[in-house]
Amino acid sequence: MESTLLLWVAFAVFIVGMLALDLFVFHRDAHEVNVREAAVFSAVWDGRSASGGIVPTGLYICVVEFMAPGGGVCRREKRCIAVSDGG
């Protein structure tokens, strides 16, 4: 039982640390969110792989690339997506 409690405490410390890192290091500049940025955070995915099959439950990393008029990538966003079977 002690090891389970220790794991939960370590997990809670990790989560609080990651939140602090996200809020105070990565997002220090307050700004108004524009439509383009909101679209990146609001994208909808149907849960299918590139071949069309439904993906199994798990965590997935989504990479969105914005293309510049010249054809190069001008911005790349990575997000973690949790997929569940709904049960």
Total domain count, the chain: 1
| pLDDT of res. 13 | 93
Q: Is residue 81 part of a domain?
A: yes
46 or 12: whose pLDDT is higher? 12
Domain around 49: 44-87
Model confidence at 14, in pLDDT bands (50, 70, 90)? Answer: very high
Measured in degrees and rounded to the nearest 5, phi and psi for residue 33 equal -80, 125
31/53 Cα distance (integer angstroms): 39
Measured in degrees and rounded to the nearest 5, phi and psi for residue 35 equal -60, -40
The H-or-E segment that residue 87 falls in is none
Q: Is residue 59 part of a domain?
A: yes
23/1 Cα distance (integer angstroms): 33
Q: Is residue 68 part of a domain?
A: yes
Give mean pLDDT, residues 19-46. Answer: 72
| pLDDT of res. 59 | 87
Give mean pLDDT, residues 64-69. Answer: 76
Q: Is residue 13 part of a domain?
A: no
5-9, 10-14, 47-51, 65-69: which has the minimum mean pLDDT?
65-69
- Is the Cβ–Cβ distance between 47 and 55 less than 8 Å? yes
